[in-house]
């Protein structure tokens, strides 16, 4: 094992042991709550709330509307661990720090990851407040994933049946939740950029041209990490602004947070559907 990954494995162990000493449950589902979506954690019957700054090797979360803590407890009777806030590359964290919590949550016992984010829509059929379930992505972050101990880096197809990153059964459950509660759920492709700026209109055009439906600054590193750890992944994107490159308007971070909040009840309905199916 390379020294670097030994060090990384130790970080995961230290953080996991710290958390284990403070809980009795074994989380089955890990949930990452993105921009404006942190309120979902308030539905969890908490066993422990642990700020990231308290946990060995985790940095503080600084992004707008990100509280920066793990909430561990039960939701719909299922033991879960939720991240209220995440680490973004645009905050200056190395990718290995940004994905460390995923490794920790998996080590604690979670074998499903539900990840959420706020995104900009480039598909003209989308509106602010819509939810898109991610069924593919285009990774434009150009960063190397950390080598995880015991997971050799063997290039493999990410999009063939049997090796799909985005779990089809979980996508089906998300769509069922939309039908049940009478809201529309799109399926599509998330394009990840490192940010921190929202895109120029030329960049929005490019994202649409290369096959993207939405664009955002997170999620893909976490999803790839979960995938390499054999977790089943459901990724949900709250569309907060829809880019109209030919009639451009300004996107502000505050607007993104406000509209993401509108999507929160939909996200909760989907998470509930998934947990009820376990």
| 237 contributes a contact to ligand HPA by CB under 6 A | no
Dmax (CA) of the chain: 55
Piece of the chain touching ligand HPA by CB under 6 A; list 54-62, 78-86, 87-95, 215-223: 215-223
Contact set for ligand HPA, span 248-267 (CB under 6 A): 251, 256
Of 27, 18, 29, the C-alpha closest to 47 is 27
Piece of the chain touching ligand HPA by CB under 6 A; list 62-70, 91-99, 112-120, 147-155: 112-120
Which residues pair with residue 31 across a beta bridge? 82, 114
| 83 contributes a contact to ligand HPA by CB under 6 A | no
Is the CB of residue 26 less than 8 Å from the CB of residue 78? Answer: no
Among 81, 171, 217, 231, binds ligand HPA (CB under 6 A): 217
| 216 contributes a contact to ligand HPA by CB under 6 A | yes
Piece of the chain touching ligand HPA by CB under 6 A; list 5-13, 118-126, 134-142, 172-180: 118-126
Residues in contact with 82: Cβ distance below 8 Å, sequence separation at least 6, in sequence order: 30, 31, 32, 33, 40, 41, 44, 70, 71, 72, 75
Is the CB of residue 24 less than 8 Å from the CB of residue 108? Answer: no
HSE-up (13 A, CA, CB side) for residue 256: 22
**Which residue number, 139 or 251, has a Cβ lying nearer to ligand HPA?**
251
Sign of CA dihedral 258, 50, 105, 78: negative
- Shortest distance, CB of residue 267 to ligand HPA, whole angstroms? 15
| 198 contributes a contact to ligand HPA by CB under 6 A | yes
Applying CB under 6 A, the residues found at the interface with ligand HPA are: 118-120, 198-199, 215-217, 240-241, 251, 256
């Amino acid at each position: 094992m390379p020294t670097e990954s030994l060090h990384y494995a130790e970080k995961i162990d230290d953080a996991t042991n710290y958390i284990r000493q403070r809980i009795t449950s074994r989380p089955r589902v890990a949930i990452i709550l993105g921009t404006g979506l942190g309120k979902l954690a308030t539905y969890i019957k908490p066993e422990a709330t642990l700020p990231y700054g308290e946990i060995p090797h985790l940095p503080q979360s600084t992004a707008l509307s990100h509280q920066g803590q793990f909430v561990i407890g039960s939701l719909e009777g299922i033991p879960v661990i939720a991240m209220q806030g995440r680490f973004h590359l645009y905050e200056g964290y190395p990718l290995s720090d940004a994905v460390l919590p995923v490794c920790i949550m998996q080590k604690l016992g979670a074998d499903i990851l539900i990840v959420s984010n706020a995104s900009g829509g480039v598909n003209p059929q989308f509106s602010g407040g819509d939810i898109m379930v991610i069924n593919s992505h285009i990774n434009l972050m150009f960063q190397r994933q950390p080598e995880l101990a015991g997971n050799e880096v063997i290039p493999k197809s990410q999009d063939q049946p049997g090796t799909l990153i985005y779990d089809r059964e979980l996508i089906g459950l998300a769509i069922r939740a939309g039908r049940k509660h009478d809201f529309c759920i799109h399926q599509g492709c998330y394009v990840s950029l490192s940010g921190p700026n929202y895109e120029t209109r030329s960049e929005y055009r490019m994202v649409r041209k290369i096959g993207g439906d939405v664009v955002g600054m997170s999620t893909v590193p976490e999803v790839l990490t979960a995938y390499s750890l054999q977790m089943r992944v459901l990724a949900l994107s709250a569309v907060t602004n829809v880019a109209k490159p030919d009639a451009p308007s300004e996107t502000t971070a505050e607007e993104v947070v406000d509209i993401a909040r509108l999507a929160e009840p939909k996200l909760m309905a989907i998470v509930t559907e998934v947990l009820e199916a376990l």
